[in-house]
Each structure stands twice: as C-alpha cells, then as structure tokens.
Amino acid sequence: MLIDFFYTLRAAKLKVTVPEYLTLLEAIKAGVIDDDAGPTVDKFYHLSRATLVKDEAQYDKFDRAFAAYFKGVELLADFSQDIPLDWLRKKLELELSPEEKAAIEKMGWDELMETLKKRFEEQKERHEGGNKMIGTGGTSPFGAYGYNPQGIRIGQDKSRNKSAVKVWDQRQFKDYDDTLELGTRNIKVALRRLRRFAREGNELELDLDDTIHSTAANAGMLDIKMIPERHNKVKVLLLMDVGGTMDEHIHRVEELFSATKSEFKHLEFYYFHNCVYDFMWKNNRRRYSEKFSTWDVIRKYNKDYKLIFVGDATMSPYEILQPGGSVEYNNEEPGAEWLQRLTNAFPKFAWINPEPQGVWSYRQSISVIQQLMNNRMFPLTLQGLEGAMRLLSK
C-alpha cells in the first residue's frame, strides 16, 4: 500500500527519496502514530509530511497527492458527531432541470439546523436519491452530489451549485502567491493611481535634472547630484477571501496580490473565508492555530490605511446576516457587524470583486455586500481597479 503511495508522491513531482521512505516505515514500525487513541489518517498525514517533504513550498503538492491517494479515507471534521463515510459515498450525481430545481422548497435557517439535529438522532443507515435524510444524489438539504436550494454540504469534494449555507468538512486553503510574475503591467499601472510620494530615508537615487544642469554649468565636467529616494507613502490594508468559490479566481487574485506588494511599501494583508468574522489569518496552513482577532486588527492600524476587500461575495446570505451563519464555525455575531466595524474604522475602503459584473444582480449575497459597502464594489478589471483607486485617493 505505501509503495504505491510513494510512487504517487513521485508522480506529483515531489522529490521523495528512498531513505526518506524507509524512515517513514521505521517511524510507523516504532509506533510513532500508535498512541492510546490509536493510529488515524490525520496522524499519518503529519508524520509522512514531516519525513518526506523537505520544503514548505511543496506542501500544497503533497496535500493534493495525499488527497488523491487516500480520497475518502480521511475523517470528516466533527462539528457535533461523526458521520459514517458510507453514507456519503457517491454512486450518482443528481442533475435537475431549472423547472425541477424551482419546485424544491427551501428551509429557513432555524428549521434547517433543527432538522439536521433530528436526522442525526433518526438515521441509522445510508440513503441515496432521497429528499429527507443525510445522503447523496438526492434533493435532501443534507448531503452531497444532489441539489437543494439551501442546505448543508456534507462529504462533497467541491462546490457544485453554490447554494450550501454551511459546509460540514474542514477544508485546507492555499496562500495566494505574491511572487507571481505578471504577464502584463496593466494592474500595476491601475494601482499607481493610488500613490502619494515623499522623500525619506538615507537611500539615494540619481537626480537626473539637477545632474544635467550642474554638469552644463560646470563646463561639461560631470557633476552627479543625488537625492533621497522617493517612496509611496500610501498605507494599504488588504483583506482577501480565500477558498471555496474563490478557487475559480486564484490566478487573477494572485496577479493583483503580486502587483499590490510591488506597488505599496506599507502593505498589510490578512485572509478570511467568504465573510469577515471575529478573526482572520495570514497563513492558510496555520489558520486554526495562528488567528488574528479582528478587533486587534482594527486597533492596530490607523485610520489613514486604505481598506481593500478582495472577494467574490458569493455565499449564503445567512453567512453575512445570521449569528452562527458561517459555513465553518458558529460565529457569535453576524458578518455584517464586522464589516461595518471595519468600514467605520477605515473610512476609505473599497471591495474588489473577481466575479463578472453581469452576474452580480443574480447573487443575493453580492447585493447585501454592496449595500454594506455603500456601493463601493468594483470588478477585478482594469477599469474597475482604476475606479477603485480614484475613489480611495480622494
């Protein structure tokens, strides 16, 4: 079994060596992951990554290869109790016509949560193609690979219909690459509308005009003049949505992130998922262990920071308006409260949306975010970026 796992990692372009593989086998034989609670996939994941991967930059490749090989083996995140994996094994994937979808009624938030609690108490076996129990390929609001206009997604590898109000599985996100080489300078050009230069520090640069004038006045003898280098004094606080539906926009957001780091010396950035709540993070691999309180972020930076949100604003409206509405945990206060606190703390703000502007009116959550942003939402296009920068520079 582990020999095939070794070759899977090699096929994923990971530089895994035989000695490292033998070290992994020795660690397993020594009982490193066999404690009182017994061995688990999660323990094996951390042990194999520690022994086989030498560079943190390769963690994402390892995660994808690990998931591809052990797909379906890893345990679900436990919000209240475990769900048997057999209940979620895909045998069919439901496809419905628009008319059939429109005929399916959706539950309200309270009814949805209460009904899920009852299903846990009632259900004893796997269900497929139904409209009530936790299962697959049906119209039930609980499960995977089916359809319901408002449900809880359980055991599905990625979003299909973008209608889930909560996601049961714990997911891993990848940091945006801020070293990406841009294929065009257009984004940088657009960002340069938000600049306020000042001379500071001891680093010098050539003052070409004064050098030419002094050289001419010195009968052609070169007289080089230097002045302190100019820096962009604008301060930017960048908050970026990551994971879920944002996976469709990774490349464009990475271009924006790379250009932003290049253009603004005073840049601070944090990640959030779907909507901002009481904490954010800087490293997606450590987002559960290295959290930054949103209150601390608000207190740490002055009002002269320009606040820029980057996100598709595509989610269940409950995630914005409802306590406990987050797809990943039970937030005590709705996301709308935190968005208002941030925009009150940083009066110059804008939201950059990578979703095509033509679909905005069809997404209820986008309309809600637009209202909270006082219509300061701009598309991730050259024209949209220029409009956002003009607004922030006023």
For 250-265, give the DSSP string. HHHHHHHHHHHHHH-S
293 backbone dihedrals φ, ψ, rounded to 5°:
-60, 135
Tens digit of each residue's pLDDT (9 = 90 or more) over 293-318: 999 999 999 998 999 999 999 988 88
Q: What average pLDDT does the segment 74-78 reach?
A: 35
**Dist CA 294 CA 270 (whole Å):** 10
Region label for 145, one of left (φ > 0), alpha (ψ between -120 and 50) or beta (otherwise): left
**Dist CA 149 CA 162 (whole Å):** 9
State yes or no: pLDDT of 201 exceeds 90: no
More reliable by pLDDT, 71 or 394: 394
Tens digit of each residue's pLDDT (9 = 90 or more) over 306-349: 999 999 999 888 899 989 888 888 889 999 999 999 999 999 99
What pLDDT does residue 310 have?
95
More reliable by pLDDT, 175 or 166: 175
State yes or no: pLDDT of 393 exceeds 80: yes
**Dist CA 281 CA 174 (whole Å):** 12
Q: Bridge partners of 143?
A: 135, 153
Q: Bridge partners of 231?
A: 198
Tens digit of each residue's pLDDT (9 = 90 or more) over 26-68: 888 888 877 666 667 778 888 888 888 887 777 878 887 887 7
Contacts 24+ apart (CB under 8 A), 66-74: 68/8, 68/12, 69/4, 69/5, 69/8, 70/41, 71/157, 73/41, 74/41, 74/42, 74/45
b/e 278-289 (16+ beta carbons within 10 angstroms → b): bbbbeebbebee
**Dist CA 278 CA 354 (whole Å):** 24
State yes or no: pLDDT of 81 exceeds 50: no
Tens digit of each residue's pLDDT (9 = 90 or more) over 110-140: 666 666 666 666 665 555 655 555 555 556 6
Tens digit of each residue's pLDDT (9 = 90 or more) over 371-383: 999 999 999 988 8
State yes or no: pLDDT of 141 exceeds 60: no
Percent of the chain past pLDDT 90, that is, above it, reads: 23
State yes or no: pLDDT of 370 exceeds 90: yes
What pTM value is reported for the model?
0.53
* pLDDT tier at 261, thresholds 50, 70, 90: confident
